[in-house]
Amino acid sequence: MSDNTLIADGKVVSFHYTLTDPDGDTIDSSDGGEPMLYLVGAQNIVPGLERQMLGKTVGDELVAKVPFAEGYGPRDPNGAQDVPRESFPPDVELEAGMQFMGQTDDGGHFPLWIMGESDGVVTIDSNHPLAGVDLSFAVSITAIRDASEEEVAHGHPHGPGGHHHH
Ligand code: ZN
């Protein structure tokens, strides 16, 4: 592999990142762990970050400012809802931040997040926890390679740092 490969559709990119909110508080980081992997063009990462990574190469570092509209979207003020504890499996311990899949009447699925639980009532929210939050990603690109046909077909990378569902 040549070391001047650029980030473009059909590549698998590895990168380290630190994600901070507008107050400068760290939300998430790959520091001390495996780099994050994504398949370019497959919407594995938020659109604003994906766009700003295009054309970069191994060793590049950047700070990508991603407004929420290009991140996890606006926050729906009506997204929160209280539901009885019995709506969830009794053997699952519910914690704030956990994600569940809800089901619509016509069989579709949508993500829900647990906000909290008290007195047998669970508060859920259809908003991603980072909806409405402007994001700043400090990124360091560590590897770029061609995606395999299988990865392109699945729409995500395989191997260390990728999906492990096979
Ligand atoms: Zn797969």
Distance CA 42, CA 125 (A): 26
> Which residues lie below 8 Å from residue 10, measured CB to CB, with a gap of 6+?
39, 40, 41, 146, 147, 152
Distance 151 CA to ligand 1 centre (A): 6
CA of 159 to the centre of ligand 1 (A): 9
Q: Would you state the pLDDT for residue 7? A: 97
* Spans of the chain, pLDDT less than 50: 1
Give distance in angstroms: CA of 162 to centre of ligand 1: 9
pLDDT at residue 166, rounded to an integer = 60
CB 16 within 8 A of CB 30: yes
pLDDT of residue 154: 95
Distance 164 CA to ligand 1 centre (A): 7
The per-residue pLDDT for 3 is: 53
Can you give the pTM of this predicted structure? 0.82
